[in-house]
Amino acid sequence: MKILMDARGATAEEKQRGLDAAREVIARSGLTPEEAAEGSFAVEGWDEMGFPPDQEPSEEEYAAADVWWAASDAAIKACCEGWPDEKRMQVSGLQLLHNPDMQLADRTTALCRMRAIIQAEDGKHEYHDNRVFLLALAATAEVPDSSKAQQLVSAVTVAYTSLSLAGFHPDEPIEPKRQAVLDAIDALEAGSRRSTEKGRSMSNHVLPEQNKPKLIVVVAFDRGDDGELFPFVASPLCPELIRGTG
């Protein structure tokens, strides 16, 4: 599986420098990118769940996580050489490229695909569908303010979760839920357009945040075999990874 560089405002050459540095770190470890990333998912997921003692990651997962984080740090350092600190702090680092059609879609394509998925949604999903989430990330990939991008993506994802699980609430009309997602997508389109245009004219005016790889977490709900609702968290680095928190 390939890796990609999540670096807002970086050129293709800068991103390639970051990827080359990351691959070197991972190659020295003897792990594959997937193995290293899985360790990171395990440790960060355990953190998000509140450190339940019976789900603590193994020593192998801790070691793999260290490799992934070291690779991401190396990627950021190589990609962002010479950048001002406030711009560097918008860079998330590495991601796994597991769904190129969704993750690499341009903004216009991502918006069209999201709307098509929402119009076709019947609310009878039995499994978590990450397509809307990935497309929302792709549509905001060039938004220079990562905090703003996260807010736009989260609004779409939360609204879509309610729509996709509408079948569990047959007494509630589905169309208002569909419209709520479409409204969130409209807001994402408008917000990403304004942010992108502002970023082009004020490329160094961004909000600071911690300079380390970040895990954006979306909390949603699903229904177990016994009919009880339970929350789950999905990592955008590997959105199909679902860890129950209940």
Q: What is the pLDDT of residues 7-60, one digit of tens each?
A: 988 999 999 999 999 999 999 999 999 999 999 999 999 999 999 999 999 999
State residue 179's pLDDT score: 98
Q: 97, 121, 144: which is the final residue of a domain?
A: 97
Checking if the pLDDT of 160 tops 70, the result is: yes
For range 195-208, the mean pLDDT = 41
Q: 74, 97, 120: which is the final residue of a domain?
A: 97
3-state secondary structure of 230: strand
State residue 110's pLDDT score: 98
Structural domain contains residue 215? no
State residue 35's pLDDT score: 97
Pair 67, 34 in one domain: yes
Pair 108, 198 in one domain: yes
Structural domain contains residue 86? yes
Q: 97, 122, 139: which is the final residue of a domain?
A: 97
Pair 107, 190 in one domain: yes
Pair 91, 108 in one domain: no
Structural domain contains residue 78? yes
- Using CA atoms, how far apart are residues 51 and 59, in angstroms rounded to an integer? 15
Pair 133, 49 in one domain: no
Q: Specify the amino acid at residue 37.
A: A
Structural domain contains residue 245? no
Structural domain contains residue 152? yes
Structural domain contains residue 165? yes
The dihedrals phi and psi of 145, each to the nearest 5 degrees, come to -95, 105
Pair 61, 110 in one domain: no
Phi-psi region of 173 (alpha: psi -120 to 50; beta: other; left: phi over 0): beta
The tokens of 36 are what?
Answer: 């290293």
Tokens 């004219």 belong to 201
Q: Specify the amino acid at residue 32.
A: T
Chain mean position to CA 184 = 17
Where do the H-state alpha helices sit in the chain?
A: 12-29, 33-48, 59-79, 85-88, 100-103, 107-120, 131-139, 146-164, 175-201
Pair 182, 104 in one domain: yes
Residue 12 lies in domain: 1-97
Pair 112, 50 in one domain: no
**Do you know the residue count of the chain?**
246
Q: Which helix (H) or strand (E) holds 234?
A: strand 229-234
State residue 144's pLDDT score: 85
State residue 197's pLDDT score: 53
The tokens of 195 are what?
Answer: 């942010």
3-state secondary structure of 11: coil
State residue 118's pLDDT score: 98
Structural domain contains residue 214? no
Pair 93, 160 in one domain: no
Distances from the Cα of 33 to the Cαs of 166, 167, 188, 243, in angstroms? 37, 38, 31, 20
Domain count, the chain: 2
pLDDT tens digits along 179-188: 999 999 999 9
Checking if the pLDDT of 63 tops 80, the result is: yes
pLDDT tens digits along 108-129: 999 999 999 999 999 987 777 8
Structural domain contains residue 230? no
Pair 121, 199 in one domain: yes
Residues 6+ apart with CB under 8 A from 122: 167, 174
Checking if the pLDDT of 83 tops 50, the result is: yes
Q: Which residues pair with 114 in a beta bridge?
A: none
Q: Where residue 1 falls among pLDDT bands split at 50, 70, 90?
A: confident
State residue 203's pLDDT score: 36
The answer to whether 192 and 143 have CB atoms below 8 angstroms apart is yes
The answer to whether 22 and 75 have CB atoms below 8 angstroms apart is yes
3-state secondary structure of 166: helix
The tokens of 12 are what?
Answer: 């293709």
Pair 103, 87 in one domain: no
* Greatest Cα pair distance in the chain: 58
Mean pLDDT comparison of 89-98, 132-141, 193-202, highest-scoring range: 132-141
State residue 231's pLDDT score: 44
- Output 148 or 126, whichever has higher pLDDT: 148
State residue 201's pLDDT score: 39
State residue 24's pLDDT score: 98
- Using CA atoms, how far apart are residues 190 and 182, in angstroms rounded to an integer? 12
Pair 104, 93 in one domain: no
Report the mean per-residue pLDDT for the chain.
83
